Homo-oligomer: A and B are copies of this chain.
C-alpha cells in the first residue's frame, strides 16, 4: 500500500468552494495510484468564532471544555470534505481524533500524541477509501477529547504519516513553500527547494510560521519526507528531509523574531547556581527562556541577560525583582524593544568566518549587536527592534541567499514527483 498523507489548513478549506477544490486535488493524488489519508483543520475563522462564543459565557473557560468546543471545528470540515469527495465518486470517510486512534496525554489544550492506533485508518485505506482525519485533536484515557495546541494539525499529519509508513507527508498552506527569509520583509527572498529537518526546526523556532516545530520533530524522528506546498497553486513547494539527502550549503535562511524582550539581572555576585535559580523561578511560572547569557564580569560580579517572549516581560520583571535581594543583585533591567535576527544552515558552525561575516554585515549598517547566541546550525543576534528588518535584509544580502540553489543528493521521494 503506497500511502500519501495530505494536510490542508483552515484557509484551504475556508469555504464550500475551496473544500470542493481540495476534494479535486485529493482525487488527482488518488488517480496517481496512491492511497490518501487527509488531515484537515477547522474552516477559516471557525476556531476564533468558537473562542468568542466561549468567552461570552465564561471569563475563564475550563481547558477541558475548550477542547470539547474547539474540536467540533475539525469535525465539521472532515465531514464536509468526505461529502465533497463522495460527490466526485471517490469513496471517503471522515474520522474524528478518537475514531482515527490518535491517542494523546491528558494535557488539555496542549496535548501530545502518545501513539496512533492506526488499524481503523489502515482498514479504510485498504478498502479503497480516502480516510479524512480531524487534525489538531485526539483522545486521552476514557474518551476524553484533547487538542494539540497551536500547529496541531501539522503534527497530526506528520504523526499519521509516520504511523502509516507513508511515502510522504504533504502540508498544504497559503504560501508556496519555505523561503530563505520572510518575503514580506525581504523582497529578494527565494523559495527553497529543500531543507533539512534540523534547519527547518531552527527556522520554525526562530519565528518562521510555516510549520510547527513539533511536526518537524515527528517527521525527523520517523524520517518522513515532509513537503510544504501551496494549496492554491500547482508548484513544487519545499521538501523537508534528512540532511544527508541534501546538498550541503552553509546558510539556508535568515529569520527575524520581533516578539521578544530582554531582561538583565545586573551586578550579581558570581556564584554557582545563580542561573539555575533564575531559570527555575521563571519556568515555574511557565515562562520559557529562549536565550540566557552570563557575561564574565570583573571583580566576581556578573550580569545575566535573558531573552524571553515579549508577552511575558512584565511578569518576568516582577519575578526577578522578587529574587533580586536574595541574589544580592544590583538591579533588574528590561528592554521590550529588541528583535532577534538569525542565520540558519548546516554549515554555520563548521565553516570558518560565517559568524564574523554576519557581525560585519550588521556593523557596516551601524546596527549594534546586544547579545549573541549560537548553536550547531544557527547564529542569533539580539538587536534593537527598530533595526530588525534592516538587519534581516543585511544578513540575507551578505550570504546572497537570493541566489541559493540546493540539490538533492538522494533520489527524489516519489510524492510530488
Binding site for B on A (CB under 8 A): 16, 19-20, 23, 50, 53-54, 56-62, 64-66, 68-69, 71-72, 75-76, 78-84, 86-87, 93-94, 96, 98-99, 120, 142-145
Contacts and interface: CB of A to CB of B under 8 A. Distances in A.
Contacts of A81: 57
Nearest to A92: B65
Contacts of A80: 53-54, 57, 65, 69
A82 B98 contact: no
Contacts of A94: 65, 68
Contacts of A145: 96
Nearest to A64: B93
B16 A99 contact: no
A76 B83 CA distance: 21
B83 A79 contact: no
18 contacts: A16-B53, A23-B57, A53-B80, A58-B83, A58-B84, A58-B87, A61-B87, A62-B82, A62-B86, A65-B80, A65-B86, A68-B78, A68-B96, A72-B76, A72-B79, A96-B145, A98-B98, A120-B142
A62 B83 contact: yes
A16 B57 contact: yes
Nearest to A91: B62
A13 to B, nearest CB: 10
How many copies of this chain sit in the oligomeric assembly? Answer: 2
A348 to B, nearest CB: 47
Contacts of A65: 79-80, 82-83, 86, 94
Nearest to A74: B72
A72 B86 CA distance: 20
A261 B72 CA distance: 41
B83 A57 contact: yes
A27 to B, nearest CB: 14
Nearest to A88: B58
A235 to B, nearest CB: 26
Contacts of A93: 64
A68 B87 CA distance: 16
Contact of A83 (B54, B87, B98, B144): B54
B83 A143 contact: no
List the 3 closest A-B pairs by CB distance, nearest first: A16-B56, A69-B79, A72-B72
A414 B402 CA distance: 78
Contacts of A99: 143-144
A120 B142 CA distance: 10
A80 to B, nearest CB: 5
Nearest to A94: B68
A57 B72 contact: no
A87 B69 contact: no
